[in-house]
Chains A and B, each alone.
Chain A
Amino acid sequence: MSQTQALWWASESFWRKTAIWVTAGSFVVLIFLTFDTVKQITAGSKRVPAYANALNHRIDYVFDAKRNFQVPVIGPEEPLFGKMLTETEAEALVSHGKLTTQAKNCMDCHTLLGNGAYFAPDLTKSWLDPAWGSKETREQTMVEFLMNPTDKLHNASGRRMPNLKITEAEARATVAFLKWMSSIDTNGFPSNFKPIDQADAAPAPVAEPAAPAAAPAADAAPAQQ
């Protein structure tokens, strides 16, 4: 083959056109998918519940046989801090909490939805964590912990959360944000999670997953120093 008759598939112009078409095509597909995704993750949708809906009710995380992973379930009425909120009030509270997580830079130690740093536990389902003891004391324990975490024994690794000068209002808002975040459908992340026992205080049988967590949690739970 002579030098002047370059192979079409090895030519610059062929690959220039390919680059342009592939890039433009991928981008168009992305835009279409983005419209759909944004609709599906707007607060108030099936995957990302409305703020008040989450804050005013019990959130659970149960195995869904059809989807083959755990999904959040919005349960009976169980208002945060015992107060029913309108959607506007709930959004304002969650927003204050989210602003607090940003201003205190939570993500450079913790992960939220699995993104962030790896120095401290993931917060995606922290509202449901058995480390908070019982569901009756959970809200207050979380608020107190956020406001003054330094002298509380977290774990045996020696790592402690620093005092970030979180006010009581900020702490309550952060708890609201965390409760709402636990209601987001994250396609089963984290998997195999064993949530806190939220069954109502009846002589019902103790939920299986919560029981083994109770004993070792003594040194893990911030509440139980």
Chain B
Amino acid sequence: MAAIGISTATMNGGQKLAMKYFTVAIALFGAQVLFGLLAGLQYLYPDFLYGILDFSINRMLHINAMVVWLLFGFIGSVYWMLEEEAGVPVVGIGLANLIFWIFTLAVVVVVLVFLLVQVGPGEQKSIWLITEGREYIEAPRWADIGIVVCVLAFFYNVSATFAKGKFTNIGGVLVMDLVALAGIYLAGMYYTPNISMDQHWWWWVIHLWVEATWEVLVGCLMAYGLIKTMGVRRKIVETWLYIEVALMFGSGILGLGHHYFWIGTPEYWFTIGGFFSALEPIPLVAMVVHAVFDAGHHKLKSTNNPALAWIIAQAFGNFFGAGVWGFMHTLPQINLYTHGTQWTASHGHLAFFGAYATMVIAFLYIALQKWRGDVYMSSNLVGAWKWKWAIFLLHAGMITMVMALLISGYEQSQIERAIEGSTWMGYFTAQEHRWFMQGMFWRQIGGWIFAAGFVLLAWDLLTIGKRETRPALQVQAE
């Protein structure tokens, strides 16, 4: 009965489009890993690619590839679930397809300029055409405008589809979240000579994306994922979603203040930022409880084991990476010594991977199952070793990197900050210290393990279910 083999016939318009977004996302994930490896090597061999692809370029490509692949993954995931949620075909699917190609082309042009032009003269035109030179949002201004146009078109597709069909609770939260997500990006699109003002608004984009709107977006994706893979009752999932939104925005919006300790902003942010950011782990605990409880309640019986495994990985990764690792250095008394050290790198790696990469990968598996013609992906799946080893290697590599960076960060806070007082000499005294360099060495080992995990993941995504002849397991909706 079930048509086994690659089949787009059963996929709706949004899902066909989602596959395109996922393809670009996984390619950019590969680029992120590659440039991360190069940048990591430059700590160990400073002359490696010196003057050709300097650390700044590799690091910029490393973090920008990440932002864009996660965005592509999120957009793809939303298109994937849109028609099923709203109950009607995606409104404006032609426009959506056009926007995909424009967005992809723009990304390619930006990357080529980053690689080939790299830097420009200190003039406005460099900011418009080459790079804005602001961490995470280095894309030149023309691309910023392009991103806003693409996101607006995406927003139109999503909101018009829900409006035409039915607004589920997931749909309602998603639409409100996208308004905030698009609006906040505008805060990063202006120039000022005042670095304090620059950083103040820059954090509106970075923090309110990563620690608020993106978190709610993955909350929506998790809600859909749990219904999809285990048949969890919608009412339970959606109630949890509202609890998460309340806790997430309740702590995350004013938690913004933990970035306002040292950039020239007033002292009252010590109290407000410290207090609210300390609450930020709470919604992440709620998400763990929620996901693990549901999985246990359903005795881990799912239609798609790899996807469920990545959803559980997300719950824990989000809690440890964003929650615990963030909390560890969020209070100003500690942050004075850790701000701008490898502590931040340790936290950033685990948080972005744990909270976001995991969720996109879960959706890739959900999508591929249907692409293979609703193939069986539950226990004793043929060739299951690949996804299991991929998830293991990616986590082993990530944890190695994160622990190594953390040790380097401890050493840096102690020697550069507490003892030497952050002068140029203090910085290098700490950087040349054996403990720091050991951390950098093990981070690179972790990077290689992670890269091996990525290769296996990519291979698995291309082949999973290929030799499987059983149809997908049906789960009873509660």
* Chain B residues closer than 8 Å to A211, beta-carbon distance: none
* Assembled-state Cα–Cα distance A121/B421 (Å): 12
In chain A, residues 82-114, which have Cβ atoms closer than 8 Å to a Cβ of chain B? 91, 94-109, 111-114
B131 located at the interface, meaning its Cβ lies under 8 Å from any Cβ of chain A in the complex: yes
Residues of B within 8 A of A26 (CB): 249-250, 253-254
Residues of A within 8 A of B194 (CB): 41-43, 48
Min CB–CB distance A41 → chain B (angstroms): 4
Whole-angstrom distance from the CB of A48 to the nearest CB of chain B? 5
- Report yes or no: B246 in contact with A155, Cβ–Cβ below 8 A: no
- Give the chain A neighbours of B104 by CB distance below 8 A: none
Q: Are A163 and B266 in contact (CB under 8 A)?
A: no
Nearest Cβ in chain B — how far from A105, in angstroms? 5
Contact of B127 with A by CB under 8 A: yes
Tell me whether chain B's interface is mostly helix, strand or loop, or mixed: helix
**A81 within 8 Å of B by Cβ?**
no
Q: How far is the CA of A160 from the CA of B46 in the complex (A)?
A: 8
- Asked if A167 contacts B121 (CB within 8 A), the reply is yes
Q: Which residues of A contact B339 (CB under 8 A)?
A: 114, 189
- Distance, CA A118 to CA B135, complexed state (A): 12
Q: Are B135 and A162 in contact (CB under 8 A)?
A: no
Q: Are B432's CB and A108's CB within 8 A?
A: no
Contact B242 A19 (CB under 8 A): yes
Residue of chain A at shortest CB distance from B55? A119
In the complex, are the beta carbons of B246 and A19 less than 8 A apart?
yes
Q: Quick check: is B200 within 8 A (CB to CB) of the other chain?
A: yes
A47-B266 contact, Cβ under 8 Å, with A103-B130, A121-B428, A190-B422: yes
User: In chain B between 338 and 393, which residues have their CB closer than 8 angstroms to a CB of chain A?
Assistant: 339-342, 344-345
Residues in A with CB closer than 8 Å to B264 are 41, 47-48, 113, 184-186
Q: A114, A159, A193: which contacts B262 (Cβ < 8 A)?
A: A114
B422/A23 in contact, CB under 8 A = no
Assess whether B120 is interfacial by the CB under 8 Å rule: yes
Contact flags B410-437 to A (C-beta < 8 A → 1, else 0): 0010000111111111011101100000
A-B contact count (CB 8 A): 266
Most B Cβ at <10 Å: residue of A105, A160, A177, A220:
A105
The answer, yes or no, to whether A137 is at the interface (CB within 8 Å) is no
Instruction: Give complex CA distance A12, B387 in Å.
Output: 36
Report the separation of the CA atoms of residues A27 and B340 in the bound assembly, to the nearest whole angstrom: 27
A15 and B266 contact, CB distance less than 8 A: no
B135 cross-chain contacts in A, Cβ below 8 A: 107-108, 115-117
With A12-B239, A113-B263, A125-B422 as known contacts, state yes or no: A19 contacts B417, CB within 8 Å.
no
Interface string of B393-422 (1 = CB under 8 A from A): 000000000000000000010000111111
> With a CB–CB cut-off of 8 A, which chain A residues contact B267?
187
Q: A102-B134, A105-B60 are in contact. Are A41 and B196 (CB under 8 A)?
A: yes
B272 touches A102 (CB 8 A): no
* Contact between chains at B425 and A131 (CB < 8 Å): yes
Contacts of B337 in A (CB 8 A): 191
Q: Given the complex, which residues of A lie within 8 Å of B42, measured CB to CB?
A: 119, 159
Contact A115 B340 (CB under 8 A): yes
Cα A112 to Cα B135 in complex, Å, equals 11
Min CB–CB distance B109 → chain A (angstroms): 18
Contact-residue size bin, chain A (C-beta under 8 Å from the other chain):
35 or more
B133 at interface, CB cutoff 8 A:
yes
Q: Is A165 an interface residue (CB 8 A)?
A: yes
B234-261 CB mask vs A (1 if < 8 Å, else 0) is: 0100110011011001100110100011
A39 to chain B minimum Cβ distance, whole angstroms, is 10
Tell me which of A22, A114, A131, A181 contacts B249 (CB under 8 A).
Answer: A22
User: Are the CB atoms of A108 and B59 closer together than 8 Å?
Assistant: yes
The size class of the interface chain B forms with chain A is 35 or more
CA distance A118 to B439 in the complex (A): 14
Query: With A173-B122, A185-B264 as given contacts, are A30 and B55 in contact (CB-CB < 8 Å)?
Result: no
* Interface 0/1 of B38-60, CB less than 8 Å to A: 00001100110011001111011
Task: Tell me, rounded to whole Å, the shortest Cβ–Cβ distance linking A29 to chain B.
Answer: 6
Task: Tell me which residues across on chain A come within 8 A of B418, comparing CB atoms.
Answer: 192
- Interface pair A187/B169, CB less than 8 Å apart: no
Instruction: Give A108 Cβ to nearest chain B Cβ, in Å.
Output: 4
Residues of B near A36 (CB, < 8 A) are 266
B195 within 8 A of A: yes
By beta carbon, the residue of chain A nearest B118 is: A105
Contact partners of B119 in chain A: CB under 8 A: 103-105, 164-165
- Give the chain A neighbours of B215 by CB distance below 8 A: none
Select one of A27, A122, A170 contacting B427, CB under 8 A.
A122
Tell whether A11 is near chain B: CB-to-CB under 8 Å.
yes
List chain B residues, Cβ under 8 A from A101: 122, 133
Say if the beta carbon of B126 comes within 8 Å of chain A: yes
In the complex with contacts A22-B249, A155-B428, A122-B340 CB distance below 8 A: yes
Chain B residues, Cβ within 8 Å of A108: 55-57, 59-60, 133, 135, 138
Are B123 and A107 in touch, CB under 8 angstroms?
no
The answer to whether B239 and A38 touch across the interface, beta carbons within 8 angstroms, is no
Q: With A99-B122, A101-B133 in contact, do A186 and B250 touch (Cβ < 8 Å)?
A: no
Q: Which B-chain residue is minimally distant from A188 (CB atoms)?
A: B336
* Cα–Cα distance between A219 and B423 once the two chains are bound (Å): 14
The answer to whether B246 and A18 have CB atoms under 8 Å apart is: yes
Name the residue in B198, B199, B421, B429 with the highest tally of chain A Cβ atoms < 10 Å from its Cβ.
B421
User: Closest CB-CB distance, A211 to chain B, in whole Å?
Assistant: 13
| Partner of B246 from A23, A102, A112, A150 at Cβ < 8 Å | A23
| Residue ID in chain A nearest B418 by CB atoms | A192
Contact of A159 among B46, B126, B336 (CB under 8 A): B46
Tell whether, in the assembled complex, residue A170 and residue B121 are in contact, meaning their CB atoms are under 8 Å apart.
yes
Provide the bound-state CA to CA distance between A41 and B194, in Å: 9
| Contact assessment for B246 and A95 in the assembled complex, using a CB-CB cutoff below 8 Å | no
Asked whether A12 and B238 contact (CB < 8 A) given A26-B249, A108-B56, the answer is: yes
List 12 additional A-B contacts (Cβ < 8 Å) besides A11-B239, A122-B427, A187-B267: A26-B254, A38-B197, A38-B200, A48-B197, A94-B193, A95-B193, A105-B56, A113-B262, A116-B135, A129-B424, A170-B122, A194-B421
Ordered by A's residue number, 11 sampled pairs between the chains whose C-beta atoms are within 8 Å are: A22-B246, A23-B245, A41-B194, A43-B194, A47-B266, A48-B194, A105-B138, A118-B341, A119-B56, A189-B261, A213-B423
Q: Which 9 A-B pairs have the closest CB atoms?
A: A100-B122, A102-B133, A190-B422, A114-B340, A15-B242, A189-B262, A103-B126, A95-B193, A108-B56
